[in-house]
Amino acid sequence: MPSETIGTGHTDIRPGDWIDRHLPPPARPYARLARLDRPIGTWLLLLPGLWSIALAARPGRLPDLGLMALFTVGSIVMRGAGCTINDIIDRKFDALVERTRVRPIPSGAVSVPQAIAFLIAQCLVGLAVLVQMNAATIVLGAASLILVAAYPLMKRITWWPQAFLGLTFNWGALLGWVAVTGALAWPPVLLYAGGILWTLGYDTIYAHQDREDDVKVGVKSTALRLGAASKRWILGFYASATALWAVALVMAGVHPLAYAGVGVTGVLLLRQARQWRPEDPADSLAAFRAARVAGWVLLGTIILGVAGAA
């Protein structure tokens, strides 16, 4: 590991948390490699799938809780797999940035061969979850691995890696509908498109933590591309996402009162963006984490809208 690092003096691992208190020492670096200590990424990956499962339920019915449970397990392991791939590929960059240099691979707690073995184990668990579903879901789920594998490379070749993350993280919006119905339709496609814009917003906010480090290391992001105009763009992303979600609910035939819930979702997102302070890394992290609140509101809106549609 290089003797010099760059950054603002904070790391993304908190010593003394539940991992240190409750897991045996050999398991701790693997739990951190899978980001089990930071579940926000799992929520943001899981929510689009839950939206879609809920929207695909029969009018007047609640969503399939068993399927939601499978998606939850799948999101935990595949988010961990994605983080493992990312850390293997980015290990040299991570070693140069103070926020990331204490991660398991750059710190030496996990070797690259060990990380690869852990990645294979996570993918096998994900496969075990996937094969519980119908054939169309299996094919569509397998296709997502292309996005998962390619995402860590995007920051090297495009100023818009956050858009590619949106394509990856919101795949569950397509997958959930197909798992229920066996085929795609316009409502999940619109959920997916809105989710991509949602991710563009919250991950651009997240990327503002690392603007200076990214310049020094030589990687790209929408935070650097949009610069001082980031807040204006994020407001546009969130407004457009809300509009697409509203159209998805209209096409799915939910109860009209659900549109008020979509409006609340949009207001929450726009308020988060307006109050965000881009110059403050801690506030960027807080605003990023707050995105899940709007995601939960949208999920509740869909569940109530479908249940009341009979």
pLDDT for position 6: 39
pLDDT tens, position by position, 121-150: 999 999 999 999 999 999 999 999 899 889
Percent above pLDDT 90 for the chain: 84
Name the band, by pLDDT with cuts 50, 70 and 90, for residue 8.
very low
- The number of residues in the chain equals 310
Residue 235 included in any domain: yes
Residue 4 lies in a domain: no
pLDDT score recorded for residue 3:
31
Does 180 have pLDDT greater than 90?
A: yes
Residue 69 lies inside a defined structural domain of this protein: yes
Measured CA to CA, the distance from residue 220 to residue 268 in angstroms comes to 28
Q: What is the mean pLDDT of the chain?
A: 93
Residue 15 lies in a domain: no
Query: Residue 17 has what pLDDT?
Result: 86
CATH number, domain with residue 74 = 1.10.357.140
Mean predicted confidence (pLDDT) in 100-119: 94
Residue 7 has pLDDT above 70, yes or no: no
Cα of 209 vs its chain's centroid, Å: 17
Sign of the torsion formed by the C-alpha atoms of 30, 127, 189 and 178: negative
Question: Is 193 part of any domain?
Answer: yes
pLDDT at 204 over 70: yes
Q: In the prediction, which pLDDT does 97 show?
A: 80
Weakest mean pLDDT among 9-13, 166-170, 223-227: 9-13
Would you say 157 and 91 are in contact if contact means Cβ atoms under 8 Å apart? no
**DSSP one-letter string for the chain:** --S--BSSS--S--TTSHHHHHS-GGGHHHHHHTTTT-THHHHHHHHHHHHHHHHHSPTT----HHHHHHHHHHHHHHHHHHHHHHHHHTHHHHHHBTTTTTSHHHHTSS-HHHHHHHHHHHHHHHHHHHTTS-HHHHHHHHHHHHHHHHHHHHHHH-S-HHHHHHHHHTTHHHHHHHHHHSS--HHHHHHHHHHHHHHHHHHHHHHGGGHHHHHHHT---HHHHHGGGHHHHHHHHHHHHHHHHHHHHHHHT--TTHHHHHHHHHHHHHHHHHH--TT-HHHHHHHHHHHHHHHHHHHHHHHHHHHT--
pLDDT of residue 295: 97
Q: Is residue 11 part of a domain?
A: no
Q: Is the pLDDT of residue 9 over 80?
A: no
| Owning domain of residue 62 | 20-307
Please report the pLDDT score of residue 11 as a whole number.
Answer: 67
Residue 82 falls inside a structural domain:
yes
Which of the given ranges, 7-16, 141-150, 170-179, has the highest pLDDT on average? Answer: 170-179
For the chain, the farthest-separated pair of C-alpha atoms sits apart, in whole angstroms, at 64
Taking the C-alpha atoms of residue 269 and residue 263, their distance in angstroms, rounded to an integer, is 10
pLDDT of residue 272: 96
Give residue for tokens 């110059």: 279
Q: Please name every residue paired with 178 in a beta bridge, in sequence order, or none if there are none.
A: none
**Structural domain total, the chain:** 1
Contact 177, 185 (CB under 8 A): yes
Residue 51 predicted with pLDDT over 80 = yes
pLDDT of residue 132: 95
Question: Do residues 292 and 51 make contact, with C-beta atoms less than 8 angstroms apart?
Answer: no
**pLDDT tops 60 at residue 49:** yes
Determine, yes or no, domain membership for 237.
yes
Alpha-carbon gap, residue 175 to 129, rounded angstroms:
13
- For residue 10, the model assigns a pLDDT of 57
Average pLDDT over residues 185-209: 97
The yes-or-no verdict on residue 307 having pLDDT over 70 is yes
What average pLDDT score do residues 212-238 get?
Answer: 93
- Residue 261 — pLDDT band, cuts 50, 70, 90? very high
**C-alpha to C-alpha distance for 156 and 84, rounded to whole angstroms:** 18
